[in-house]
Structure 1
Amino acid sequence: MAGWDTWLTVAAIALAALACAMLIVAIMPLLARYALARPNARSSHKIPTPQGAGIAVVAATLTVAAGAIAVVSSAAAIPALLFGATVLIAVVGTIDDIHPIPVLPRLLLQAIAVGIVLAVLPENLQILPMVPVWIERAVLLVAALWFVNLVNFMDGLDWMTVSEVVPIALALVALGLAGFLPADATLIAAALGGAMLGFAPFNRPVAKVFLGDVGSLPIGLLLGWCLLQLALHGHVAAALLLPLYYLADSTLTLVRRIAKREVFWEAHRTHFYQRATDNGFPVIGVVGRVFGLNLLLAALAGVSVLLGSAAVDAVALLGGAAAVTFVLAQFGRPRRIGLG
């Protein structure tokens, strides 16, 4: 992207943050009245708390991203179907927040939204060109559906989604400004990162409001799409490194629950970050470690993209895996007295 576009990207971050914060203030009375999240088996909060701030995050992201992309329309077209699928999955999340939808219908509706996004990918754009397109698209459908849901699963602690999405989104912005990501994906990442910064003050421990499924599901779809664009443009290692903590925590938790023959689709609090609070870690200590880890993963992703060799990718992935393992191991055992 050109130097002029750099200023547009920075403006998109700032405008999305401001718009999101203003929208949250505007809708907070309605959320407090009609959308209280009451503590359940999965919850880390102790008292009923308004949810649904994701409405503001998604609205600010889509509006600002659409406007910014329109400004550089000579280089990028507004991905209307992506935005439409995002609205669809946000509606599904809204309904689920108000009146829980059974598992299978919920997954079907989410799969439709994900499928819409994948269906419009050019056939000549693949991660693995030697694999038949239909096989790769089928794998991507399952992977994207899992990613959308894992973002939702991991949104169970104040500032947790902020500490994950902000570093990833801003890393994607930096890669886009350096020319490694298309303009539309760069501007969507900028708007999403900005919107999450606008949401952050309201979600700081102890949170005044939560995202709700109306926020976490669309965030997963938009973030997953940006990461997919990075992978489709030849940077698979970076696309795996950026969300590696989320991938590891949620996937290992799912595998562990299946191995124990638990009803794995029901609400629970056995993710590593949830076990960390049960093991004596303060909320700030947990999200602070996740944020620091994500900064490290972003740096490794940057090195992987800039140096661009298979050997560097392998070393970066091993380093990222080691760092994630270290944090998960910390979260999985009781905290030592005197540590934050």
Structure 2
Amino acid sequence: MVPVEPLLSMIYLMVLFGSALVSALLILILKPLLVRYALARPNARSSHKIPTPQGGGIAVIGACLLVTGAALLTGNALPASFTVVIVATLMLALVGAVDDIRPLPAIPRLLLQIAAVTAVVVASDMRVLPESVPLAVEQALLVVGGVWFVNLVNFMDGLDWITVAEMVPVTAFIAPLYFVAVASLPKEANVSEVMFVAASLCGALLGFAPFNKPVARLFLGDVGSLPIGLLVGWMLLQLAGTGALAAALLLPLYYLMDATITLLRRLRRGEKVWEAHRSHFYQKATDNGFSALGVSAHVFGLNLVLAGLAAMTLIWPSGAVQVAALGAGVVLVGLVLRRFSTPRPKIPLEVSR
């Protein structure tokens, strides 16, 4: 009999590569339709210069759910709680698809997001805060945080390769970190759902990456960014529920800080925060002389370091290490945000004599 750990690792890799292949094939099949019906035309707030098809998220989410479902169904029936996650993900994908074609009003869109996140939080029945906090209060806070996370993932998907640079490291590291965190618990837990979703979403994004590399020939669209936010938020909630709250905060810390600081600044200026804008640090970076590839490279490298800090909080789970790792993460993200906000010096062209 093959030991559990090597068997899970083998299945993990099969799921990852299978999802990448399915995602790329779906994109090749769907792209002619997306070019015809889902063309994103540049405007004053866009980072692209020419009309570009969006909707690649259909392939990413489709591949993720198909491969995850197939992997889980080889064992037993899908757990009821995970079925809720699938339904909520599909609902947000539908909301995003409609919004990509004909923008929805802010209030109905927000209400549908709240419904999807609430269903996932309640079905997960996960405790993150101390037991002294009433369950209803904790779940309300988790819903607010989950809705914000879904939206910030959507807000941050505004530059070629940035979602790949952010979410590939996050999803790649969630599975091993969750496996380590669960192993330290006094009771056994089923790790297959989180591991397979992480592997399949990571693979699906890798399959999408060649089409989104600068200069992008395809965008995710809201049909991809909204459900990706929900799925990653659910996985981070599962990780935090094992007691690894610091790790769950460190993995997406760049997105959390960029989007949250930007939101607070816009609120202070009295802007309509639900409207599109170019105030994010990654957007300022391109205005300040960074290329899209340069921004994504910074984000990718930063996320590898944040994942290393997250791993440290599990290897040495003392309070001092948790605080130190979080502090170091905040400082590192702050340095990158400052770098993005600083104009790069222009290199003077040589004048020929």
TM-score interval for Structure 1 and Structure 2 normalised by the shorter chain: over 0.9
What are the within-5 Å matches in structure 2 for residues 282-321 of structure 1? 282-321=291-330
Matched AA of 1:175: L
Report the equivalent of 2:70.
67
Choose which of 260, 263, 268 in structure 2 pairs with 1:254. 263
Q: Is the 8 A contact 1:127 1:231 kept in 2?
A: no
Please give the alpha-carbon distance, in whole angstroms, between the structure 1 residues aligned to 2:155 and 2:338. 20
Q: Which amino acid aligns with 2:253?
A: L
* Whole-angstrom CA distance in 2 between matches of 1:234 and 1:337: 47
1:1-340 pair list within 5 angstroms:
2-73=5-76, 79-122=82-125, 125-178=127-180, 180=182, 182-337=191-346
Supply the AA of the counterpart residue of 1:185: V
1:314–1:126 distance in 2 versus 1, CA, 3 Å: closer
- Superposed CA RMSD: 1.6
Task: Name the count of aligned residue pairs.
Answer: 337
Structure 2 CA distance, aligned partners of 1:137 and 1:78?
Answer: 15
SS in 1 for 2:124: coil
Paired residues of 2:194 and 2:235 also in contact (CA < 8 A): yes
CA contact (8 A) 1:36 1:48 kept: yes
Question: Residue 263 of structure 1 aligns to which amino acid in structure 2?
Answer: K
The answer (yes or no) to whether the contact 1:176–1:183 under 8 Å persists in 2 is: no
Unaligned stretches of 5+ in structure 2? Answer: 184-190, 348-353
- Shift, 1:129, TM fit: 1.7
Q: Deviations over 1:275-296 (max 9, x none)?
A: 0000111111111000000000
Partner Cα distance (1:163, 1:76) in 2 = 31
Q: Distance in 1 between matches of 2:182 and 2:287?
A: 41
Please give the alpha-carbon distance, in whole angstroms, between the structure 1 residues aligned to 2:78 and 2:319. Answer: 30
CA–CA separation in structure 1 for the residues paired with 2:36 and 2:78: 44
TM-score (norm: length of structure 2)? 0.92
* Superposed CA offset, 1:82-136 (max 9, x none): 000000000000010011001111000111111111121237x443322000000
CA contact (8 A) 2:284 2:341 kept: yes
Amino acid at match of 1:11: M
Is the Cα contact below 8 Å between 1:41 and 1:267 reproduced in 2?
Answer: no
Please list the CA deviations of residues 19-71 of structure 1 after superposition, one character each: whole Å capped at 9, or x if unmatched: 00000000000000000001123310011100000000000000111111223
Of structures 1 and 2, the larger Rg is shown by: 2
1:126–1:133: 8 Å Cα contact kept in structure 2?
no
Alpha-carbon distance in structure 2 between the residues aligned to 1:54 and 1:148 = 14
Query: Taking structure 1 as the reference length, what is the TM-score of the superposition?
Result: 0.96
CA distance 1:179–1:259, shift in 2 (3 Å): closer
* Alpha-carbon displacement from aligned partner over 1:220-247 (angstroms, at most 9, x marks no partner): 0000000000001100000000000000
Per-residue deviation, 1:178: 3.6
